[in-house]
Amino acid sequence: MPGVLTVREEGGALRHVFEERAVIGRDPDCDIRLASRSVSRRHALVEKTPNGWVVRDLGSANGTRVNGARVTEAPLVAGAAVMFGEVEALFAVESREPTGAGRLLSSSLSVPPARKARPVAVFIATTAGVLVLAAATIWARYCDRAPAKARSVAPAPAIGGS
C-alpha cells in the first residue's frame, strides 16, 4: 500500500503519494520538493520497510519531528504528524481496495474501467467536432459568396442566304 504525505505549505495543502520511498527536500531532484528555507536540500527520507514505514532525517539543519519529538529515525503510522523544519505534514497509508460504489462497480464489470482512455476519447471527440464545425463554416462562407455571374448570351449570327 502506498504512503501518502499531505504537506501544508504556503497556505495550501498538497498530497504526495509514493510507492516505496520518497526523499523530501528543497533540491529539484527530491521526490517531494518543499520551498521553505527551513527545509534542507535533502532533508529526510520516508521509506517502506518490512516492518512498516519509517522516516529518516538526512542530517538536516532544522531537524525532523514526528508527533512533536525530534528524531533521526522513527516509525510512521497512519495519522502521524511530521515536521520537516517548519513545514507540517500528515502521514497516511493509502488503501488500494475500492469502497462502496467503487467496489460494487468493479465487481459487476468483467473488464475494469479504462480511466486513462477517457481523456483521450474526450480530446479526440472534441477535436473532431471542432474540425467538422470549421469545415462547415468554410463551406458555408464559400457557398454564400456572390452568385455565379450569368454569362451573357450573344445573339446568334444571322445566317443569311440572300
The predicted structure's pLDDT at residue 152: 61
DSSP character string of 73-98: EEEE-TT-EEEETTEEEEEEE---S-
Looking at 15-116, list the stretches that DSSP marks H as alpha helix, in order from N- to C-terminal side: 101-108
Q: Tell me the pLDDT tens digit for each residue of 67-125.
A: 999 999 999 999 999 999 999 999 999 876 656 556 555 555 445 555 555 677 778 88
- Using the structure block, give the residue that is written with the C-alpha cell 525530534: 70
Instruction: Tell me how far apart the alpha carbons of residues 37 and 33 are, in angstroms, rounded to a whole number.
Output: 12
Looking at residue 107, what is its pLDDT? 52
In the structure grid, which three cell numbers stand for residue 130, read together?
471542432
Whether the predicted model's global pTM rises above the 0.85 cut? no
CA angle, residues 51, 54, 57, in degrees to nearest 5: 150
Per-range mean pLDDT, top range of 27-41, 99-113, 140-154: 27-41
